[in-house]
Amino acid sequence: MTQFVRLDTFPEYAIISFQGVSNLDANSALRVKAEMKGLIDEQVSNVLIDLSNVSFIDSTGFGTLISVLKTIKNKNGKLILVGVSPEVQELMDLMQLLNVFELAPDTKSALVQLNA
C-alpha cells in the first residue's frame, strides 16, 4: 500500500508532504492521521506540512491537522503549513482556523519563520 504521506527529516525540522492524495477528507483523513502520527512521534519537534499538492480539505481533514498541531504544541514544537492554495485558505476561513495555523507560501519562507 503506497504511503499517502512522506517524511523528510532535517536536523532542526521535518517536512511532511503528500503523495497520491489530493483530497484530505473523510475518505483519506483517518489513514493520513495514522501515518502522520506514526512519523511524528519520533524525536521530531518542528514540522512543516507541504500542502501544495492538496486541492481540497474537508472538516475531517482539518480535524487531522488540528490533532497534529496539538501533538506538536505539546512537545513545544512549531507547525507551519506550506503552500496552502488560496481556495483551501478560504475553506480554512470558513472553518475559523485561519488564526489557528501558521502558513507560509513555500519552504524557504517557512524556514525563515521557524527561526524568527
Partner 1 sequence: MLFIRSFPNNLVQTEALAEWLQEVAVAVETIPYHKLRFVIHEAFVNACKYGHDHNANIVVVIRKHEDLEITITDPGNGFEIPNALSPFDAGAIGLSWNLARDRDTNVIAELRAPNTLSFSLRQEKGHQEVELMENHRGLISILKAAKNLSYHFVPNSFNYLHITC
CB of 12 to partner 1, least distance (A): 26
CB closer to partner 1 out of 26 and 112: 26
**Angle at the Cα of 34 from the Cα atoms of 22 and 32, rounded to 5 degrees:** 5
Q: Binders of partner 1 among 31-90, rule CB under 8 A?
A: 56, 58-60, 62-63, 66-67, 69-70, 87-88, 90
CB of 15 to partner 1, least distance (A): 23
Separation between Cα atoms, residue 73 and residue 1, nearest integer Å? 30
CB closer to partner 1 out of 3 and 67: 67
Query: Which residues of the chain form beta strands (DSSP E)?
Result: 5-9, 13-18, 23-24, 46-50, 56-57, 79-82, 102-104
CB closer to partner 1 out of 27 and 109: 27
CB closer to partner 1 out of 9 and 60: 60
30 binds partner 1 (CB under 8 A): no
Separation between Cα atoms, residue 21 and residue 32, nearest integer Å? 9
Q: Enumerate the β-bridge partners of residue 79.
A: 47
Question: Rounded to a whole number, what is the distance in angstroms from the first to the last CA of the chain?
Answer: 39
Positions touching partner 1 (CB under 8 A) are 23, 25-27, 56, 58-60, 62-63, 66-67, 69-70, 87-88, 90-91, 93-96, 100
